[in-house]
Amino acid sequence: MATTHAAADRASDRRVARGRFAPSPTGPLHFGSLVAALGSFLEARRRGGEWLVRIEDVDAPRTAPGATTAILRALERYGLHWDGPVVRQSQRAVHYQTALESLLDAGWVYPCTCSRQMLASCPRGRDGAPIYPGTCRAGPRPLDRLPALRVRVTDAPLTFQDAVQGECRQRLERAVGDFVLRRADGVFAYQLAVVVDDAAQGVTHVVRGADLLDSTPRQIYLQRLLGLSTPDYAHLPVVVDARGDKLSKQTGARPLDERWAGPTLTAALRFLGQRPPPELAGEPVAAIIAWAVAHWDLALVGARGRSGLSLDTPTN
């Protein structure tokens, strides 16, 4: 694994800016996902770059019928027009397999047959998932079960600069442990798929919700193991409901209403710290987007704590 990460290696220094919105099609777009879509769109367009849409349907049983169509239609109605074909992760298993095999060949990946029960007894990381203690590193026990495949991590601090959250740092071994790249049921993990796809699509600027901040060190780690360049990251504040929970399909967030696209877009801009003039809300969607592209300033987006964020678990 490369230990230095010179600025010259950064994808953003070499190519035209390219952003992406990567929704999981578990339901229609809601205000929280609009904020992520809009932020990534504006950052890419403000840089004169491209904006791609990728449907993250790698975990087929979790996808909702009709969700992809509903998401794409809502993006269009909200004036968020993408470039190029929509990529679907369900079509890309061969690429994830190739990446996995290269890590296997290099000795970074090992099979794990730990039971749910055993994992349930592990301490939990920030995302609530068990911190894997490396039990199967020396060989899986028991042997008579289909294995998940895990990547070996280290305890070296992994540091990156987030354009909104500031400097972030995590020691993967104590914060997450060796993490799964392919589940025992054959489904590729989000962490692997997203790294392979961001690289294949030439994404230079990843702008997404801060709920994914904690995944970023895992993704940078995989990029380094796979010899891929690391995009710039910006993690936007997450929209929460009255109870303080992240807006999501699971917590019953309402789908976006196409009749109120203008006021909803200006509310999303204000949420992102931008200052649209009040009368803009009554303008056509295209005019709102044009204003937003011309005035977008990532520096106005509020951070959780710009002075640096440790993504290690509080107990460490």
Q: Which chain residues interact with Zn ion by CB under 5 A?
A: 112, 114, 135-136
Identity of the residue, 31 or 174, whose beta carbon is nearer to ligand GLU in the bound complex: 31
For the bound state, the minimum distance from the C-beta of residue 67 to ligand GLU, rounded and expressed in Å, comes to 11
Q: Is 24 in the site for ligand GLU (CB under 6 A)?
A: yes
Identity of the residue, 155 or 245, whose beta carbon is nearer to ligand GLU in the bound complex: 245
Identity of the residue, 141 or 306, whose beta carbon is nearer to Zn ion in the bound complex: 141
Identity of the residue, 17 or 22, whose beta carbon is nearer to ligand GLU in the bound complex: 22
Per residue, the 3-state secondary structure of the chain, as one string, reads CCCCCCHHHCHHHCCCCEEEECCCCCCCCEHHHHHHHHHHHHHHHHCCCEEEEEECCCCHHHCCCCHHHHHHHHHHHCCCCCCCCCEEHHHCHHHHHHHHHHHHHCCCEEEECCCHHHHHCCCECCCCCECECCCCCCCCCCCCCCCEEEECCCCCEEEEEECCCEEEEEEHHHHCECEEEECCCCCECHHHHHHHHHHHCCCCEEEEEHHHHHHHHHHHHHHHHHCCCCCEEEEECCCECCCCCECCCCCCCCECCHHHHHHHHHHHHHHCCCCCCHHHHHCCHHHHHHHHHHHCCHHHCCCCCCCCEECCCCCC
Q: Is 205 in the site for ligand GLU (CB under 6 A)?
A: no
Q: Is 194 in the site for ligand GLU (CB under 6 A)?
A: yes
Q: Which range binds ligand GLU by CB under 6 A, 17-25, 114-122, 165-173, 221-229?
A: 17-25
Alpha-carbon distance of 229 to 238, in angstroms, equals 26
Identity of the residue, 45 or 208, whose beta carbon is nearer to ligand GLU in the bound complex: 208
Identity of the residue, 36 or 136, whose beta carbon is nearer to ligand GLU in the bound complex: 36
Q: Is 158 in the site for ligand GLU (CB under 6 A)?
A: no
Q: Is 274 in the site for ligand GLU (CB under 6 A)?
A: no
Which residues are known to be catalytic?
249
* Total residues binding ligand GLU (CB under 6 A): 7
For the bound state, the minimum distance from the C-beta of residue 278 to ligand GLU, rounded and expressed in Å, comes to 31
Among 34, 52, 168, 212, binds ligand GLU (CB under 6 A): 212
Q: Which does 212 bind (CB under 5 to 8 A by kind): Zn ion, ligand GLU, none?
A: ligand GLU
Q: Which does 58 bind (CB under 5 to 8 A by kind): Zn ion, ligand GLU, none?
A: none
Q: Which does 57 bind (CB under 5 to 8 A by kind): ligand GLU, Zn ion, none?
A: none
Q: Which does 24 bind (CB under 5 to 8 A by kind): Zn ion, ligand GLU, none?
A: ligand GLU
Q: Which does 208 bind (CB under 5 to 8 A by kind): ligand GLU, Zn ion, none?
A: ligand GLU
Q: Is 182 in the site for ligand GLU (CB under 6 A)?
A: no
Alpha-carbon distance of 192 to 96, in angstroms, equals 7
Beta bridge partners of 182: 149, 188
- Which is nearest to 88 in space by CA: 186, 201, 220, 206? 201
Q: Is 208 in the site for ligand GLU (CB under 6 A)?
A: yes
Residue ranges that bind ligand GLU, judged by CB under 6 A: 22-24, 56, 194, 208, 212
